[in-house]
A = this chain, B = another copy of it.
Amino acid sequence: MSFASKGMAATAQDEAYRAILQDIRSGRYQPGERLIPETIARELAMSRMPVREAFQRLANEGLVLIRPNRGCVVSGLTIDEIYELFEIRSVLEGLAVRLAMPRFDAAALAELDDHVARMHRAGAAGGADWLTKHQEFHAYICGLSRRPKLIAQIAALHIAVEPSMRVWLHHVAQPAHATERQDEVVEAIRTGDAEHAEAVMRDHVLRTAPRLAEFLRKRGQAAGVPSTLPASTQI
């Protein structure tokens, strides 16, 4: 289930949130595109209000930008922002794998191998869901850390770069190429050395950034609408 939400929407607002999130992740709503509450509300057969509240949540997660009196646009990422997200993800996933190390017994390692195998299959099949399998691989490792907030933060980071990753994978990259790197991570975990595993994971995460960035630069994209921070937490 990777980084998707589970359960059913209890409320209209939640339903709106999920629907919009899905459409941003999948790329249906492109960066820079303006989201009009009324339109989406009609689509989902509800009123504007729950849609607006969904916007709030999305804005807090940085997926959308709300400017007062000027509406809501899907916030693309600049190259710098993508780098930054990968930097953050590298240390967080490094932490996660370090904390997860004590829980990697034989069963966990076997399951980890399964994940890698699934990734390989999805990659070889040229399947578009390699990305999903890749996220599941990372999610499995992070999950073993048993740190709910850490897991949530990492998940949010995966989601933030997902749209960019999708166009990248769709247009050029052969996932198979990326897959071989995963083995390094698995190997490091197998050594049992937590510090080492952390370092390798950091490295592994960071390695993707420049390749994605280069692709986006060539496409001239990713200069869309710079996302902004939640207005709250500024220094």
Interfacial residues, chain A to chain B (CB-CB below 8 A): 1-3, 5-7, 10-11, 14, 17-18, 21, 49, 52-53, 56-57, 60-62, 68, 81, 84-85, 87-88, 91-92, 94-95, 99, 139, 142-143, 147-153, 155-156, 159, 228-235
User: By the criterion CB–CB under 8 Å, are B150 and A233 in contact?
Assistant: no
Which residues does chain B contribute within 8 Å of A68, judged by CB atoms? 10-11, 14
Please judge, given known A-B contacts A14-B231, A152-B233, A234-B5, whether A147 and B87 are in contact too, CB under 8 Å.
yes
Q: Give bound CA distance, A95 to B85, whole Å.
A: 12
For residue A66, give the distance in angstroms from its CB to the closest CB of chain B.
10
Closest-by-CB residue of B relative to A229 is B152
Q: Which of B1, B5, B57, B229 contacts A60 (CB 8 A)?
A: B57
User: By the criterion CB–CB under 8 Å, are B84 and A150 in contact?
Assistant: yes
| Chain A binding surface SS class | helix
Among A94, A229, A233, A235, residue most surrounded by chain B Cβ atoms (within 10 Å): A235
Which residues does chain B contribute within 8 Å of A153, judged by CB atoms? 88, 153, 233
User: By the criterion CB–CB under 8 Å, are B150 and A232 in contact?
Assistant: no
Q: Give bound CA distance, A146 to B99, whole Å.
A: 28
Which residues does chain B contribute within 8 Å of A152, judged by CB atoms? 229-230, 233-234
Q: What copy number does this chain have within its complex? A: 2
Which residues does chain B contribute within 8 Å of A232, judged by CB atoms? 5, 17-18, 21, 57, 61, 156
Q: A92-B92, A155-B233 are in contact. List 12 more A-B contacts (CB 8 A).
A: A5-B232, A52-B53, A56-B60, A57-B230, A60-B61, A88-B95, A88-B149, A91-B95, A143-B235, A151-B229, A155-B234, A159-B233
Which residues does chain B contribute within 8 Å of A95, judged by CB atoms? 87-88, 91
Closest-by-CB residue of B relative to A142 is B235
Which residues does chain B contribute within 8 Å of A143, judged by CB atoms? 235
Closest-by-CB residue of B relative to A68 is B10
For residue A22, give the distance in angstroms from its CB to the closest CB of chain B.
11
Could you jot down 20 A-B contacts, CB within 8 Å? A2-B235, A5-B231, A5-B234, A6-B234, A21-B232, A62-B149, A84-B147, A85-B149, A87-B147, A88-B92, A88-B150, A91-B94, A149-B229, A151-B234, A152-B229, A152-B233, A155-B235, A156-B230, A156-B232, A156-B233
